[in-house]
Chains A and B, each alone.
Chain A
Amino acid sequence: ETGVTQSPTHLIKTRGQQVTLRCSSQSGHNTVSWYQQALGQGPQFIFQYYREEENGRGNFPPRFSGLQFPNYSSELNVNALELDDSALYLCASSFGSETQYFGPGTRLLVL
């Protein structure tokens, strides 16, 4: 157990809808990174939040957005869902750029 929690564990949405995923970081960590993992592939970096600001972004469109709160928890929002957004969404917490520890993930299915 890493101490990183995510909610919900599973989610089913339809194309065009919006979704919000949540992550609580491990105690003592101040940085949250989000990854998308499609079936059979490695996780792909979406973005990272440090001190409530976006600290870096991967190759994802603007309809993927996020927030970090003063308690270092974070949200990932995805607008206008597409079928290809179906994946396991992983949150990882760290202290700055140190080792990242993953939460259990949220499995999103878009129909």
Chain B
Amino acid sequence: QKEVEQNSGPLSVPEGAIASLNCTYSDRVSQSFFWYRQYSGKSPELIMSIYSNGDKEDGRFTAQLNKASQYVSLLIRDSQPSDSATYLCAVYPNDYKLSFGAGTTVTVRA
């Protein structure tokens, strides 16, 4: 079983719609969870971090965490063409190693 799994995508949404990205993780002791955005040919850029169960909102982005279900999600509201990128879910299963999912590619159609 992979440490971090994401819905495979690609995900295509119309401009202005909500994009919903899902991630599950295998290590129950994980305490820190991150979403990174990666544009084609660029490095990952942190967009959200979440540590407690529930929702965390930052502008058009909302991260949701459910530790009992070992599930993290990211909602992008009012999607814009500039949101077209690969979104990487990352988990800290221990104090030093970030484990990443394979990423979900999002395309926002104008």
User: Do A and B interact with each other, yes or no?
Assistant: yes
Size of the A side of the interface (Cβ < 8 Å), in residues, is 25
CA distance A100 to B97 in the complex (A): 10
A56 touches B97 (CB 8 A): yes
CA distance A99 to B102 in the complex (A): 19
CB-CB < 8 A to B34: which residues of A?
99
CA distance A66 to B36 in the complex (A): 25
B88 touches A105 (CB 8 A): no
B75 smallest CB distance to A (angstroms): 20
Query: Which residues of A48-94 are within 8 A (CB) of B?
Result: 48, 50, 55-56, 58, 88, 90, 92
Known: A33-B96, A56-B96, A97-B96. A102 touches B45 (CB 8 A): yes
Of A33, A40, A50, the contact of B98 (CB 8 Å cutoff): A33
Is residue B92 contacting chain A, with contact meaning CB distance below 8 A?
Answer: yes
A101 smallest CB distance to B (angstroms): 6
B97 touches A90 (CB 8 A): no
Known: A40-B102, A97-B92, A99-B34. A45 touches B45 (CB 8 A): no
B96 touches A48 (CB 8 A): yes
CA distance A102 to B42 in the complex (A): 10
B40 smallest CB distance to A (angstroms): 11
A89 smallest CB distance to B (angstroms): 10
CA distance A2 to B88 in the complex (A): 17
CB-CB < 8 A to B44: which residues of A?
43, 90, 102
A42 touches B103 (CB 8 A): yes
CB-CB < 8 A to A40: which residues of B?
102
B46 touches A48 (CB 8 A): no
B42 touches A45 (CB 8 A): no
Of B95, B99, B102, the contact of A41 (CB 8 Å cutoff): B102
Residues of B within 8 A of A (CB): 4, 32, 34, 36, 42-46, 49, 88, 90, 92, 94-103
Q: Give 23 CB contacts A-B under 8 Å.
A: A2-B45, A33-B98, A35-B98, A41-B103, A42-B88, A42-B100, A42-B103, A43-B98, A44-B100, A48-B97, A55-B96, A56-B94, A56-B95, A56-B97, A97-B92, A99-B34, A99-B46, A99-B49, A100-B46, A102-B43, A102-B46, A104-B42, A105-B43
